[in-house]
A = this chain, B = another copy of it.
Amino acid sequence: MESPSHTASARLAAVQNHLTIQPCFHRHAIHNDQPTGPADLARERANASFKVEDMTEVLFRGKENVEAMKLAYQLIQRDPDLRMREGHHYDLTRAEDREQTMRQIARTIELKRTIKDPRLQQALFMAMSFYSESFSMRIYVHDMLFKQALMLFGNAEQQDKWMDDINNWRVIGCFAMTELGHSSNLRGLETTSTYDRATNEFVIHSPTLTATKWWIGMSGETATHTVAICQTVIDGENHGINWFIVPLRDPKTGKLLPGVTCGDIGHKSSRQGLDNGWIQFTSVRIPRENMLMKWAQMTPEGEFTPSPNPILSYATLIPERFTILGGSQVVLAQTLTIAVRYGAVRRQGNHDEQILDYQTHYTSLMPGVAFIYMLNVVDRVLFEKWDEVAEYAQTDAGAFMREIPDQHGVSAGFKGALAWYVTDVLEACRRACGGHAYSSYNSIAGLIGDYGVVTTGGGDNVVLMQQCARYLITSLKWAQEGQEVVGSVSYLNDCKKILQSSKTSYQDARDLLSHEFVTDVLTWACAKKATELAAILAEAGKANFDEAWNTNQTELVRLADVHAWRYFLILYQKGIEREKNKSVYPMLKKLGQLMSTFALRKHLDLFLEEGYFNGDHAKEVRQLFLDQCKDLRKDAIPLIDAWVIPDFVLKAPIGKYDGNIYPAYFATVNAAQKSYDTPEYWHKYAKPMLNAPRPGQKKCGC
């Protein structure tokens, strides 16, 4: 036994070692300005296991689109109306950001007229979406929310009347749904549209403060029109919600129309270039024809026909939720490009390793990289289906009604489950860039701010996950009653059979690489959870349903999460089948396999708890996950490069393509500094403190 002080000093030596603070003579060797980054990235690129150009073609659906994107980026970089004119985006004031965004919109609308190639037109909008989130959101509000409302709720006559003006921005439209007091619960909305028989008009009114329309994009400063969701009051009776076109501003002067009060929401977590606003209507009269009448009608004689089913008029919320797959790609591809490149260039540790080689580092980023590929592939599968369904809205109401429930269930579950995971990946990227992510000039903080709204906006994720769970519970009931259910829930037809096996058929680790095997495991988990929860809810009975639901809310949300991930994996597999003959197919498959393991690992405690997996299975899942991440890490840079995001779009020197990050970062910070003179406030507040007399010292006269 050693003496206590000896022991203490031995411990101290060991701790000293943890701190790695010994004199470090060899460090002098790196005292030169030869950057290691460019060589690191060049080596990573040379070792790519697949052809990056081929992958880019898959991501953008063909060589022609890739060429169009490149041309679009060039256009943006060169056109002084499209690009940032000087300084850094995050040094703009709100007013400057607003102006820049509107300038970009005006210019793209102009270009839309002169560019004859529709491929380039589309590429320009996509490239601009990567370049500016505020631009993208302003366009989204007008083109997606406002215009889609017209497309889905307006009849042919209304579409004829408005569509050309909308397409050419002769009106600027917004979408007034959310109110100050209610959002996710549409039934609670308070704004009224009261029919006046005498004049054949509707009177739009915000009866209370909480009825104020809130967050409405472009209502703050620019929109000339809105579609507003209102309770429809006819002869004193509420006929539920409908959509109405309400003019807001005079297009000649920009002045608010009588009875309309719009204000700006002011400073937000991000997207300062978008004028989110609030709207109060004080007895605003609009002609009868401004009610959107594809499903509900009000005749010139004042006869009201309600929609055959009110849900039809909410169909616009479904594609809005699906757009999260596209929007998430834009934000995540940029954030991951920055974080992955920085990880490959930054060197730190005992042997100045590339930090991306640390296990905790590559396991925090590689699933995100795989995930953006999944978003890209599944996005296409979903919209191909949705476009088909949306077409039915114009051609076949019955078919439209048949398809809507599953579309609704999928969109709710995907929006909830996927947006939550995006948030996790963004946070992982932030941490992976250490302190440098805290600088606005590396864009990560801004991208996170942009995304901040997504997990609660467009339907709160917790609410959406419950909508998905409710759909599952109801579908299971139908299936148990002998009705066949279809689409994402079709496995519920076989629930009994699925649950006959209470243990996995797992034989060896290779099983975990099989799409079918993983799907089976997740299917079992969904079937098991759904059956259990349905039984609990059924037992509670109708009177206690709400309470029973709330008592099991956590598990219901978990059920929706497992279900959503399961279907996401299935659609990915379906989506990559068409790339089967491409050179990059093996890589696409690998990416899906990692995310399959990821999904199993995410819910490992469930499989363990239910005895479906034992401890050894769990260990093998976790080990496989580590191995897969390590394997994919080798292709990290090529997988990121394939997204071809130019440096000027990234606006993040630590994510620069050439890897020479420090001079670029330093130059950016320097450029933002307007002056090295002592600031005014220093003289006012610091100087008197600094020059206060010491005790016993006479006050100096200076």
A247 to chain B, nearest CB (A): 12
A423 is an interface residue with CB less than 8 A from chain B: yes
Partner of A441, one of B23, B266, B462, B626: B266
A460 is an interface residue with CB less than 8 A from chain B: yes
Whether B685 pairs with A99 at a CB distance below 8 angstroms is: yes
A61 to chain B, nearest CB (A): 30
Whether B681 pairs with A98 at a CB distance below 8 angstroms is: yes
Nearest CB to that of A33 among chain B residues? B208
* B-side contacts of A309, CB under 8 Å: 9, 12-13, 16
A608 is an interface residue with CB less than 8 A from chain B: yes
* B-side contacts of A702, CB under 8 Å: 252
Whether B405 pairs with A15 at a CB distance below 8 angstroms is: yes
Whether A27 pairs with B231 at a CB distance below 8 angstroms is: yes
Partner of A12, one of B241, B401, B431: B401
Whether B550 pairs with A358 at a CB distance below 8 angstroms is: yes
Known contacts A102-B686, A605-B604, A615-B611: A21-B186 contact under CB 8 Å: yes
Whether A471 pairs with B673 at a CB distance below 8 angstroms is: no
* B-side contacts of A681, CB under 8 Å: 95, 98-99, 102-103
The docked-state distance in angstroms from the alpha carbon of A214 to that of B434 is 13
A253 is an interface residue with CB less than 8 A from chain B: yes
Binds B, one of A69-77, A517-525, A687-695: A687-695
Partner of A20, one of B187, B361, B430: B187
Whether B626 pairs with A618 at a CB distance below 8 angstroms is: no
Having A8-B398, A31-B208, one finds 13 other A-B pairs with CB under 8 Å, namely A4-B402, A15-B311, A22-B310, A24-B187, A27-B238, A164-B695, A252-B691, A254-B682, A254-B683, A268-B438, A431-B462, A437-B452, A609-B619
Whether A267 pairs with B401 at a CB distance below 8 angstroms is: no
Nearest CB to that of A689 among chain B residues? B169
* B-side contacts of A12, CB under 8 Å: 309, 311, 401, 404-405
The docked-state distance in angstroms from the alpha carbon of A615 to that of B604 is 12
* B-side contacts of A358, CB under 8 Å: 462, 550, 553
Whether B170 pairs with A689 at a CB distance below 8 angstroms is: yes
The docked-state distance in angstroms from the alpha carbon of A199 to that of B100 is 57
A349 is an interface residue with CB less than 8 A from chain B: yes
A662 is an interface residue with CB less than 8 A from chain B: yes
Partner of A478, one of B11, B20, B168, B359: B11
A46 is an interface residue with CB less than 8 A from chain B: no
Nearest CB to that of A361 among chain B residues? B462
A259 is an interface residue with CB less than 8 A from chain B: no
A369 is an interface residue with CB less than 8 A from chain B: no
A215 is an interface residue with CB less than 8 A from chain B: yes
A455 is an interface residue with CB less than 8 A from chain B: yes
* B-side contacts of A349, CB under 8 Å: 185
Partner of A678, one of B253, B434, B673: B253
A515 is an interface residue with CB less than 8 A from chain B: no
Whether B238 pairs with A23 at a CB distance below 8 angstroms is: yes
A187 to chain B, nearest CB (A): 4
A554 is an interface residue with CB less than 8 A from chain B: yes
CB within 8 Å of B: which of A169-194?
A: 169-172, 178, 180-190
Partner of A431, one of B171, B254, B456: B456
Known contacts A440-B267, A685-B106: A251-B690 contact under CB 8 Å: yes
A235 to chain B, nearest CB (A): 13
A278 is an interface residue with CB less than 8 A from chain B: yes
A665 is an interface residue with CB less than 8 A from chain B: yes
Whether B98 pairs with A263 at a CB distance below 8 angstroms is: no
* B-side contacts of A690, CB under 8 Å: 169-172, 224, 251
CB within 8 Å of B: which of A263-286?
A: 263-269, 278
Partner of A170, one of B255, B401, B692: B692
Whether A31 pairs with B207 at a CB distance below 8 angstroms is: yes
